[in-house]
Amino acid sequence: MSGSDIDTKTTKAEATKSSTLTRKQKRWRKRLPWSDTVTEAFPTYAEVMDRAVRTAQHRYSKFGWWHMAWFRIGGILEIVLSVSFPFVYTALRSADGGWQDTVITGISVAIAVVGGIRGFYGWNENWHLYKTQELALTGIIQRWELELMALAAQPKENVSKTHKATKHALEQVAIALEHEQDAFFGSVRLPDELIQRNGSPRAGVPSSPQE
């Protein structure tokens, strides 16, 4: 095999690898919730921000939809059973046989079970929580995107301002995630020293007095 053939194969392999990386980058950029301008100008900060919000956004979108669906299904079942109960009771009261009481009791139990399950799982509250968190993350991302787009439009790159804007956005994301944690585990509180270390004391948790 001549040297020119080896060089040709090497060049083709490098071109294929470059093309593959380009396709991966395109797929990655396509799913990012901000413009390509930010990703192209600040790829490192875009990757950091993506890691910070990707899992949370997916969780809020997925579980928010499911809690909404179960809340509506449970609500419809409870309404239908409750409204139809008087009519069923009236229709079965004059019927012969001993199965009428079983049907009426079954409907009553079904109404109680549906209402109890809705209250136990808190579909309405969780739906509201997930949608609120999703909107909060969207607002944080949009403000961060606008700040970085303004920095990208400047003739000279300002790493300090970019780092500061991204750091502030990540702190806001952490606060939003803490709010979600408090909603589920409201009675759980972190020690004061950990709260001070994080630099974002949560509502309802008093800071330790300074001497």
pLDDT digits 0-9 by tens, 118-160: 888 888 888 888 999 999 999 999 999 999 988 888 877 778 8
pLDDT value at residue 189: 47
Does residue 129 lie within any of the structural domains? yes
CB 133 within 8 A of CB 60: yes
CB 178 within 8 A of CB 202: yes
Does residue 101 lie within any of the structural domains? yes
Structure tokens, 79: 């309404």
Domain count of the chain? 1
Does residue 44 lie within any of the structural domains? yes
Does residue 21 lie within any of the structural domains? no
Residue 180 is given by DSSP the state H
Does residue 159 lie within any of the structural domains? yes
Please write down the HEC assignment for all residues of 114-144.
HHHHHHHHCHHHHHHHHHHHHHHHHHHHHHH
Predicted TM-score (pTM) of this structure = 0.64
Domain containing residue 79: 34-182
Does residue 10 lie within any of the structural domains? no
pLDDT value at residue 30: 58
pLDDT value at residue 69: 93
Q: Give Cβ neighbours of residue 111 (< 8 Å, ≥ 6 apart).
A: 78, 81, 82, 85
The number of angstroms, rounded, from the C-alpha of 13 to the middle of its chain's C-alpha atoms is 40
pLDDT value at residue 197: 52
Residue type, position 187, single letter: S
Q: Which of 121, 162, 128, 124 is nearest to 145 (CA)?
A: 162
Among all chains, which residue has been given the structure tokens 């950990």? Answer: 194
Low-confidence ranges of the chain (pLDDT < 70): 1-31, 96-97, 185-211
pLDDT value at residue 23: 60
Does residue 79 lie within any of the structural domains? yes
CB 45 within 8 A of CB 166: yes
Does residue 111 lie within any of the structural domains? yes
